[in-house]
Structure 1
Amino acid sequence: MPSPKTVLITGTSSGIGLAAAVTAARAGWTTIATMRDAAKAQPLLEAAAEHGVADRIHVKHLDVVDAESIAACLDEVIAEHGRLDALINNAGAAQVGTIEQGSLDDVRAAMEVNFFGVVATTRAALPHLRAARGRIITVSSVGGAIGQPFNEAYCAAKFAVEGFMESLAPVAATVGVDVVVVEPGAVASEFVTNLSLDVPALLDAAGPYAPALNAYIARTQQSFGNAQSPAEAAAPIIEALAGDRPAFRVQTSAWARDFVGTKLTDLDGSAVQNLTSTWVR
């Protein structure tokens, strides 16, 4: 009997990553669930046990901004399982702010996790994925298609991820590797909670941007009140993982498809600007 296919997923301690790990295991994949802090694995392990897939989920340490960590994790995976058939780049970090009041270090930190971490993990995994004729799936965001107010650094990183993957896709295809980007909208997960935003302090420090920031926060709180669950957002990821010929770009909801569609048909940029300007008024 052939050995089960193996998928490595980054950022699985909560949210979409946790849900994707459990869903992949339920679909029969040997699932390497990685996270920066393995001490945070308990919610994942409990969910795996609840769904009867604890034996298919293997938690490992992997920090996407640490090249040695990436290499060590991949070496362990190949030593223990003999193959890597898919990589799901999910680890990421949100950031809220505008450049005049932030720092270049803030921007660099956002790029390091959300862009360079994806590039580094993809680069390290590609020889194994090439050998397996496997698949790279990267969790981007609707913010990888449409720039959003007070998300300059985050959206810049996601734009960069999508440009990188869109350019890589035809090249990877020549050696049998499929490339997919997945664009969720609002997802009710700890990704946003982990920002630990002190809204009153942010507004106090916002100076001339306070009215726009207040409007943006109000709109964002409303949108996350109607958010997808992590499991709903993870389902299209696993469909792309298992499908025969996945599309390059996949949205996780009808709302996300409509929202991204605004950008893809907006040749002069006016439709996006007219839309997002209402978020800060």
Structure 2
Amino acid sequence: MPSTSPNAQPKTALITGTSSGIGLAAAVAAAQAGWHTVATMRDTSRADALRQAAADAGVADRIEVRRLDVTDPASVAACVEAVLAEHGRLDAVVNNAGAGHVGTIEQETVADVRAVMEVNFFGVVEVARATLPHLRASRGRLITVTSVGGVVGQPFNEAYCAAKFAVEGFLESLAPVAATTGVTVTLVEPGAVASEFVANVNVDIPAALEAAGPYAPALRNYLDRTANAFAAAQSPADAAATIVAALEADRPALRMQTSEAARGFVATKLKDLDGSATLAVTNGWVA
């Protein structure tokens, strides 16, 4: 936990993808909890909403905005080096940057899939690789926002879920290795969250249905079900509370879901040895 002593240097957390949604809320919440928060984003011209939220919460002095593009190794390295040069330490990293994607493989290209993997998986790998030496020095935390889609494969989310599954496998494998040097690894798994993440998928529904061919009925059913799910979505602030819990806990779990709905959904898969219970759920999304 961050020190509350007035003479102590506050702990520093670097959070990616903070221009909106969970990342923005997490940056503000971490600052409220006493962390000095380095809030990063690919395009810093989009920082106004974060700065306003920080000012409204009274924590503008604990948040600094820096550019970091998780798909650009040079950008990652430059940001990390600048943080170390200015603050001398890095106590926690929150991998939050990511991008949604809707599609099915027969109707898209391998290049489309590679692009999804680049931001959602390799971006996490790049940030982890660049920051682990510094987290080891501080015996810090590596926290990554994945998704319930990193545990349960979901229709028309093949590339996205593949990337999130990869993140889960990567970090579950890394966790015991990192722990031998004092670094704690945690996966935060949101379900539906009311944020710009969904809007940023940029699905033109009429065009998508027209192009879907034999998959049009299934796609229509999936889109209708998803719209209903997001109508009752969790707020970004509620989801961000789980990230702060992972920052603050003495021994955070490997997996932390952000809501009861997310816990129930993930539990279906984790106790489903033959996969039948999972398919019983997801088949109903498209049938």
1:41 equivalenced with 2:47 (yes/no): yes
Alpha-carbon distance between aligned partners in 1 of 2:252 and 2:200, rounded to the nearest angstrom: 31
Helix, strand or coil: the match of 1:208? helix
The offset of 1:159, in angstroms, is 0.2
Match of 1:2 in 2: 8
The offset of 1:151, in angstroms, is 0.1
Structure 2 residue corresponding to 1:134, chosen from 140, 146, 158 = 140
Match of 1:80 in 2: 86
1:211 equivalenced with 2:220 (yes/no): no
Identity of matched residues, %: 69
The offset of 1:61, in angstroms, is 0.2
1:266 equivalenced with 2:272 (yes/no): yes
Task: Provide the TM-score with structure 1 as the length reference.
Answer: 1.00
Q: Which amino acid aligns with 1:199?
A: I
Match of 1:66 in 2: 72
1:52 equivalenced with 2:40 (yes/no): no
Q: Which amino acid aligns with 2:193?
A: V
Alpha-carbon distance between aligned partners in 1 of 2:202 and 2:282, rounded to the nearest angstrom: 24
RMSD of aligned C-alpha atoms? Answer: 0.4
Task: Provide the TM-score with structure 2 as the length reference.
Answer: 0.97
Match of 1:196 in 2: 202
| Contiguous gaps of at least 5 residues in structure 1 | none
Spell out, residue by residue over 1:78-125, the C-alpha distance to the aligned partner (whole angstroms, 9 max, x if none): 011110000000000000000000110110000000000000000000
Match of 2:284 in 1: 278
The offset of 1:9, in angstroms, is 0.2
Match of 1:220 in 2: 226
Helix, strand or coil: the match of 1:16? helix
Match of 2:176 in 1: 170
Spell out, residue by residue over 1:66-89, the C-alpha distance to the aligned partner (whole angstroms, 9 max, x if none): 000000000110011110000000
The offset of 1:195, in angstroms, is 1.5
Alpha-carbon distance between aligned partners in 2 of 1:190 and 1:92, rounded to the nearest angstrom: 12
Match of 2:3 in 1: none
Match of 2:121 in 1: 115
Helix, strand or coil: the match of 2:238? helix
The offset of 1:197, in angstroms, is 1.3
Helix, strand or coil: the match of 1:204? helix
Aligned length: 281
Alpha-carbon distance between aligned partners in 2 of 1:218 and 1:234, rounded to the nearest angstrom: 27
Alpha-carbon distance between aligned partners in 1 of 2:245 and 2:276, rounded to the nearest angstrom: 34
Alpha-carbon distance between aligned partners in 1 of 2:233 and 2:257, rounded to the nearest angstrom: 14
Match of 2:4 in 1: none
Match of 1:184 in 2: 190
The offset of 1:2, in angstroms, is 2.5
Q: Aligned runs of 1:223-242 on 2, under 5 Å?
A: 223-242=229-248
Alpha-carbon distance between aligned partners in 2 of 1:220 and 1:160, rounded to the nearest angstrom: 23
Match of 1:245 in 2: 251
| Contiguous gaps of at least 5 residues in structure 2 | 1-6
The ranges of structure 1 where at least 4 consecutive aligned residues each deviate by more than 3 angstroms after the TM superposition are: none
